[in-house]
Amino acid sequence: MKDHPEQPLPIIDLSICDGCGLCVQACPDHALAIKNGKARITNPKVCGYHGYCEMICPGRVINRLFQIIISPQEL
């Protein structure tokens, strides 16, 4: 069994998550759910790593480790 997922996943700081659920509503892949009053990645295999959860979180509780940004000069 692997220790790490094959794709990157957002990191949720459970110590400051207030369970508002905005990230769950924003996730187009339905990878998140509220469990025990906190946001959790409950279906990591479907997470498309879009970043909507990170963008909508009012407490900045969710972070993505990797973001690929393509500048117009690289196109």
Q: List the chain domain ranges.
A: 11-63
pTM of the model: 0.77
DSSP string, 6-59: SS---EE-TTT-----HHHHH-TT--EEEETTEEEES-GGG----SHHHHH-TT
- What CATH number has the domain spanning 11-63? 3.30.70.20
Q: 16-30, pLDDT tens digit by residue?
A: 999 999 999 999 999
pLDDT at 67: 60
What's the whole-number mean pLDDT along residues 30-53?
A: 95
pLDDT at 2: 45
